[in-house]
Structure 1
Amino acid sequence: MPVKNDAEKRWVELEFVVPGTPEQLWRAMATGPGIGAWFTTTTVDERVGGAIEFDFGGGAVSKGVVTRWEPPFRFCYEERGWNGEAPPVATEITIRTRAGEQCVVRMVHSLFTSEDSWDDELEGFESGWPGFFEVLRVYMRQFAGQKASSLRVTSSHAGTPAEAWKSLSAGLGLAGADVGEQREAPSEAPSLAGTVERVQQGGEVFEQMLRLERPGPGVAAIGTYRHAGSARVGVSIYLYGEQAEATAAEAQRRWSAWMAERFPAREAEAKA
């Protein structure tokens, strides 16, 4: 969907259906533990004027302030300094009920500028969220309210995203997988077993999402994509239940070692 604009701002809109009540969705989308269960490690001071911080790992942090706090239906925040000299970006999340114990969630990202210099970033917001929304749907359907912990490992590949995916999927026993299939990584890879929930392949993005049995109950998003001119490899795992934190800590060590061996950082990255 193209970026919308008027004299004062430019924005993109997303709308999606998620299982759960407004109260359950509010906890998942407006609190630190809830957001961390399907997106990234987050802290929220739950009030107007409170701080919100997204920690993406590796020192990448985005900070903002809560501008509206109307549980369980509307949550807004504004981030400054999120990308160099970019203008502030405001995010509005609204939740409304729908029949069948579901909710419609609407998310709007707005940049306060009349210039089109940052349209690529806005479009990146729009294209980046759907994969996380799929994690959210599984979380709400199977694990809502449970304790959560996550891990993420990334590296790069000298070839194309397609070539990186060929190596990654082969190493994890995911080559040729289709939705609904049970897959399990070979013994030399980190523990990974579950049911394929989503497959995206084509262009510059190759990704599979699994509902996990091992290393514990949860969700894995595994894929390759183009970023800053190079092929990137990423594994994000969300684990749920009382043992989630301990399991994630152990899995982080194993995944980091495996990724470093299979996709060693290039010299320029190692010096960065």
Structure 2
Amino acid sequence: MSVKQEANGRRSIQTEFDVPGTPEDVWQAIATGPGISAWFVPAVFEERDGTPIAVTYQFGPGAEIRGAVTAWDPPRTYTAEQIEGWGGAPPMATEWSVEARAGGLCRVRIVHSLFASTDAWDEQLQGAESGWSGFLAILRIYIANFAGQSSALTQLRSSAACTDAEIWAALLDATGLQGIRVGQHVASPAGVPPFSGIVEYVTGSPYDALIRIDEPAPGVLALGVAGMPGGPSMVGVNLYFYDDQAADTLAREAPVWQAWLHERFPLTAEPDDSV
């Protein structure tokens, strides 16, 4: 979707999608720390007198985004505005809204906006929009299958000095997932940390695949590749586990996957934790 321009300098871009559940169900998933941490990244809300005043998203070591909550109307809408922009960009505000629809669904709308006198930051707005696709697919899986359950997640990364397409092909080949399609039951081959489940999402733009797993525990296995500006492409494995044993399962499985990932895709350079 293209960036919308307004006369007052506000520039915005919007994403809409449908998820199963009531507005209260969806609100718990998108507007609470435990809910967001179950499908996106670890998140914590700060409260004053019972009302959220700020939220922090943890994308990795040294990569936090903190936003002031500037509007709060549960279970309908809230807005969080970055305390400061990245790389000199104006702070970006993100508005979430939930609307009940027919058939037991809710329409969720995400609007990213900032104020600028030029189009210099439009690419950042468009990047924010495109970056949601895989995470929103995880949100649908979470609400449909695991809503309200205890959860634990980790985001594992390595890198490779090849094109994104070459790395993606190598990742699918290494995990035995060549030619996968939505709805297919898959299982890990020998030499790969054990998993089995149903393919829920596959895309080549960007390169992402999501498997709703039942082995080694209920959850989601997310695989992806993303090119990094001025650097190597990053290979990602995200693990999301759900049930009362989620934290124990993650503690056991994460080191196995990290070792496998670094063996298959050795780091080409040390990550820069300053960004």
Q: What's 2:233 paired with?
A: 231
Structure 2 residue 203 is the aligned partner of structure 1 residue 200: yes
In 2, are the aligned partners of 1:11 and 1:109 still within 8 Å (CA)?
Answer: yes
1:224 Cα deviation from its structure 2 partner = 1.3
The answer to whether residue 266 in structure 2 is matched with residue 264 in structure 1 is yes
1:181-225 per-position Cα deviation (integer Å, ceiling 9, x unaligned): 1111123212221111111125xx322111111221111221212
Query: Which of 96, 100, 104 matches 2:99?
Result: 96
CA contact (8 A) 1:219 1:237 kept: yes
Which segments of 5 or more consecutive residues in structure 1 lack a partner in the other structure? none
Aligned-residue CA RMSD in angstroms?
A: 1.7
Give the Cα separation in 2 of the matches to 1:116 and 1:21.
Answer: 38
Residue of structure 2 in register with 1:118 after alignment: 121
Please state whether the residue corresponding to 2:223 is helix, strand or coil. Answer: strand
The number of aligned residues is 270
TM-score by length of 1: 0.94
1:146-185 equivalence runs, <5 A: 146-185=149-188
Instruction: Provide the secondary structure at the position in 2 that maps to 1:150.
Output: strand
Alpha-carbon offset, residue 269 of structure 1? 4.3
Counterpart CA distance in 1 for 2:108 and 2:252 is 34
**For the residues of structure 1 that align with 2:182 and 2:77, how far apart are their CA atoms?**
34
Distance 1:224 1:267, change over 3 A: closer
1:134 aligns with 2:137: yes
1:3 match = 3
Which segment drifts farther, 14-23 or 2-11? Answer: 2-11
Shift of 1:65: 1.1
Q: Distance in 2 between matches of 1:271 and 1:246?
A: 27
Per-residue CA deviations over 1:13-61 (Å, capped at 9, x if unaligned) read: 0111110001011100000000011100000125656121000112211
Distance in structure 2 (CA, Å) of the matches to 1:67 and 1:117: 25
Q: Given the superposition, is the C-alpha separation of residues 236 and 267 from structure 1 closer, same or farther in structure 2, using an over 3 Å criterion?
A: closer
8 Å contact 1:20–1:102 — kept in the other structure? yes
Which amino acid in 2 is paired with 1:38? W
Secondary structure, aligned partner of 1:247: helix
Measure how far apart 1:228 and its partner are: 1.2
What percent identity do the matched residue pairs reach?
43
Deviation at 1:82, TM superposition (A): 4.0
Deviations 1:85-125 (A, max 9, x none): 11111111111111111111111010122221111111011
Superposed CA deviations along residues 242-269 of structure 1, whole A, max 9, x for unmatched, are 0111111221111111111111111464
**Alignment match of 1:247 (pick from 246, 249, 267):** 249
Moved more, 247-256 or 32-41: 247-256
| Preserved CA contact (<8 Å) 1:211 1:219 | yes
Judged with a 3 Å threshold, the aligned counterparts in structure 2 of structure 1 residues 251 and 48 are, in CA distance, closer, same or farther, namely same
Name structure 2 gaps, 5 residues minimum: none
Which amino acid in 2 is paired with 1:173?
G
Q: Does the residue aligned with 1:33 lie in a helix, a strand or coil?
A: helix
Say if 1:159 and 1:231, in contact at 8 Å, map to a contact too.
Answer: yes
Structure 1 residues 23 and 169: CA distance shift in structure 2, 3 A: same
Cα distance in 2 for residues equivalent to 1:240 and 1:156: 28
Evaluate the alpha carbon distance shift between residue 82 and residue 54 of structure 1 in structure 2; reply closer, same or farther with a 3 A threshold: farther
Runs (4+) of structure 1 exceeding 2 A deviation are 45-49, 267-272
User: Equivalent residue for 2:62?
Assistant: 59
**SS of 1:260 mapped into structure 2:** helix
| Contact map agreement 1:43 1:52 (CA 8 A) in 2 | yes
Post-superposition offset of 1:162? 1.1
Counterparts of 2:41 and 2:31, CA distance in 1? 13
